[in-house]
Amino acid sequence: MNKQIFITLSVCLVIVSCKQLTKATDFITQPTAKEIYARDFEDTDVVFNTWTKNFEVSKNDSLKINLPYLEQVQLHSTNLQSYSYNINLSEGELFNLQIESDVDSIQFFSELFKIEGDSITSFKSLIKSKPNETNMAVPIKESATYKLIIQPEIYASTKASLKIFTSPTYYFPVAGKTSKAIQSFWGASRDGGKRSHKGVDIFAERGTPVIAAVDGYVSSTGNKGLGGKQVWLRDGLFGASLYYAHLDSIATQSGKKVKIGDTLGFVGNTGNAKYTPPHLHFGIYKGYNGAVNPLPFIKNAEIPETDNLFVAITPKAIIKNSVANIRIGPSSKFDKITQLKRNDTITVLGKQDDWLHIKTGDGQKAFVFKTLTQSLP
């Protein structure tokens, strides 16, 4: 009896020690949510291996979406679906993914890749879901095409919504204004086409405070050249220099550390803007790369909304028209992949406004206009 008690206690101590060791190791290695989830499965588990393979296959999906985007989905325990989208993102944007589910305990595993290569496509992983985190916010440091893959846990059964949108990485540089106040944009012709606009012009009443769009320090101030009264702010996030020009007056000094929202000066029309209404010329310069388009850094977010986040979606449907075009994105502006014929069966993965996100009988993922389909009981 004592020997049995000793063995039992020994096993318990080993289990506790292993758990403590795992926690200590996790603290150092910072495993992703998916890596932790995978510990519950054996390497020989057929379902788990199929689920893992589906994620890899999703990298080859060609679906495209424009932001902001909201898709309503209904997951069924018999499916091992993943959701994959190609998205064009611009330097300076903050990429956002928000997933809401009517069952809080369901896990979603997401990963954002940068698509690289010309003849041979490769995927550079930028960020993966962290433990106990469903949402994602990623500063975009290079304009490119990115791939987002979202994969629910095995046997997930729930209604959910996928919100994908961008927001600015910088605070808007004119107090009380939004990006609607921008009236002249990057690349606009100047001096009869001799040069192009290297920033954006934000119009506001004379004397409106111009504020720090990011934490940093003032690298220089002055009254010179085309910009007139101006402030240069050095940013620690992107390593960029922010240019505030045509100020009526300056309210800071070189070398001063500033926080987001600190007043740097006031809107005016000095320099070569003396014959135009008061406005701030706002530019961003990045070392040897020169000026970059500042709009993605400050454009206000457009967050997709709906009255009902969770909707019932019938998993099977058929094509009811003689033919139906299926496309790479949820709009008739996206390229057609192919056509389906009447009574072809499709699996419905989700709904985006009047479009269905589908999988065809041969495994092709696409979008089809909802009115061309009929739900099966």
- Does the residue 307 lie in any domain? no
pLDDT of residue 5: 54
Could you read off the pLDDT tens digit of each residue along the chain, which spans 377 residues?
Answer: 555 655 554 444 444 444 444 555 665 667 999 999 999 999 899 999 999 999 999 999 999 999 999 999 999 887 788 999 999 999 999 999 999 999 988 999 999 999 998 766 899 999 999 888 889 999 999 999 999 999 999 999 999 999 999 999 999 999 999 999 999 888 877 767 677 889 999 999 999 999 999 999 999 999 999 999 999 999 977 789 999 999 999 999 999 999 999 999 999 999 999 999 999 999 999 877 789 999 999 999 989 988 888 998 999 999 999 999 999 999 999 999 999 999 999 999 999 999 999 999 999 999 999 999 999 98
Torsion angle in degrees (nearest 10) through CA of 212, 278, 208, 271: 50
User: Are 201 and 132 part of one and the same domain?
Assistant: no
Q: What is the CATH number of the domain that holds 329?
A: 2.30.30.40
User: Are 193 and 239 part of one and the same domain?
Assistant: yes
How far the first Cα of the chain sits from its last, in Å, is 61
What is the pTM (predicted TM-score) of this model? 0.87
Beta bridge partners of 151: 109
- Rounded to whole angstroms, how far apart are CA atoms 233 and 222? 12
pLDDT of residue 365: 96
The residue with tokens 């967050």 is: 303
Contact status, residue 283 vs residue 340, Cβ threshold 8 Å: no
Q: What is the CATH number of the domain that holds 97?
A: 2.60.120.380
User: Are 98 and 150 part of one and the same domain?
Assistant: yes
Domain count across the chain: 3
Contact status, residue 99 vs residue 160, Cβ threshold 8 Å: yes
- Does the residue 173 lie in any domain? no
Task: Tell which of 168, 189, 206 closes a domain.
Answer: 168
User: Are 192 and 242 part of one and the same domain?
Assistant: yes
Work out the angle at residue 291's Cα, subtended by the Cα atoms of residues 290 and 295, and round it to the nearest 5 degrees. 155
pLDDT of residue 188: 78
pLDDT of residue 11: 46
User: Are 64 and 115 part of one and the same domain?
Assistant: yes
pLDDT of residue 4: 60
Q: Is the peptide bond before 68 cis (omega within 30 degrees of 0)?
A: yes
pLDDT of residue 294: 96
Identify the domain containing residue 212 by its residue range: 179-298
pLDDT of residue 14: 44
Q: What is the CATH number of the domain that holds 247?
A: 2.70.70.10
Task: Tell which of 298, 325, 348 closes a domain.
Answer: 298
